[in-house]
Amino acid sequence: MEVKVWDYLVEYAQEKEEVLSAVQDVFESGWLILGNKVKEFETVYARYCETKYGIGVANGTDAIFLALKALGIGAGDEVITVSNTAIPTVSAIVSTGATPVFVDILEDTYLMDTSKIEQVISSRTKCILPVHLFGQCVDMDKVNEIAKKNNLFVLEDCAQSHGALYRGKKAGSLSDISTTSFYPTKILGTYGDGGMVNTSNEEIERKMRRLRFYGAEKTYYAIEHGYNSRLDELHAAILLKKIVHLDEYINRRRQIATKYDKMLKDTNLILPKEAEYGRHAYYIYVVRHPNRDYIMGELKKMNIHLNISYPWPIHTMTGYANLGYKEGDLPVTEKAATEIFSLPMYPSLTDDQQNHVIEKLIELCI
């Protein structure tokens, strides 16, 4: 039995009629860019996230970059974030001209260790960028308390946390501005690239709409320097169909996670911890073991394919060597990167497939 770490084909087969109907509607509408489907999805997704505004952009990386620009962040500024994240979080900061400043993570949740934030605040710090990693939220009360005390912006990276809750509130509604990605693997993913910026601040919203459209509010006239980054009608139409199922996706992911928790609790794997303050949406189910590479290798021989998110902390990459970090600077992050790996986690994963994965893991990890 082959088990992939992620697969969209079964889900697509189940939703094919809806998806193709949405695509056909766009093709027959006569409007392909920034039309009614984008406007409708922006409204629907903002409502889901409990924010006033949503601004669709081309991808999640652009979302972070443009959100930072909308906050006025650029050359000479510093943005506090984590090294245990996808490259785009950091590449977007660097692309503004700002400098990412890393703090370590918590050993049990792999989320930003908020107790480390104040130690790295400087006169150049302008923003804290917590990453709601793997499907659950950073401790945002602490982040916002520090930000308020030091007059800093907060930008939530929600690319992995659609539908996650923090003290009953949705990820993305807990800060000045938030961003997400609709990359195909995401909890809410389209069949290509797409991103969104959310805010309840009207001034930020207006600036974001200009920045994504050449700095213009009307065609052919730029009020300020801007960019070209737009969620297109096709993906907005598909996402409008898929968002109806978003809570179903999350419930199924949580069901799969609960079964992993129950069946693997007596192994020597370290299982994910759900923070007491929130609801984990389980974008991925991350386990930990010192013999990770051996376990993954043995499972691959059995046609069970797993993944590592992420094997190399960003501060150790040659592409960011100029930031001046060295191995040992973020010990919890670095140790975790050598041991964590992700089990198959997607709504169309069957019970038989999950049972097969569990059976083989038990054989290897007891």
Evaluate if residue 356 carries a pLDDT over 90: yes
Of 113, 78, 110, nearest to 341 by C-alpha is 110
Q: Give the whole-angstrom CA distance, residue 323 versus residue 115.
A: 22
Please provide the size of the chain in residues: 366
Is 90 exceeded by the pLDDT of residue 276? yes
Its pTM surpasses 0.75: yes
Q: Are 197 and 67 in contact (CB under 8 A)?
A: yes
Residue closest to 253 by CA, chosen among 158, 348, 176, 147: 348
Whole-angstrom Cα distance, residue 178 to residue 187?
16
Is the pLDDT assigned to residue 219 strictly greater than 90?
no
Domain boundaries, given as residue ranges, for the chain: 9-103+111-244, 246-364
pLDDT of residue 97: 98
Record the tokens describing residue 339, joined without a space. 């041991």
Q: Output the pLDDT for position 316.
A: 97
Q: How confident is the model at residue 277 (pLDDT cuts 50, 70, 90)?
A: very high
- What is the per-residue pLDDT for 366? 83
Q: How many CB atoms lie within 10 A of CB 48?
A: 19
Spatial separation of the C-alpha atoms in residues 16 and 241, rounded to whole Å: 11
The dotted CATH code for 9-103+111-244 is 3.40.640.10
Q: Is the pLDDT of residue 208 over 90?
A: yes
CATH code: domain 246-364 is 3.90.1150.10
Work out the widest C-alpha separation in the chain, in whole angstroms.
66
> What confidence score (pLDDT) does residue 311 get?
96
- Beginning with the edge strand found earlier in the chain, give each strand of the sheet holding 78-82 in spatial order: 53-57, 195-199, 177-181, 153-157, 125-128, 78-82, 99-103
- Name the average pLDDT for the chain: 97
- Digit-coded pLDDT (tens) for 79-135: 999 999 999 999 999 999 999 999 999 999 999 999 999 999 999 999 999 999 999
Distances (CA, A) of 299 to 311, 345, 356: 18, 16, 11
Instruction: Please report, rounded to a whole number, the percentage of residues in the chain having pLDDT higher than 70.
Output: 100
Average pLDDT of span 310-317:
97
Alpha-carbon dihedral angle through residues 261, 262, 264, 270, given to the nearest 10 degrees: 40
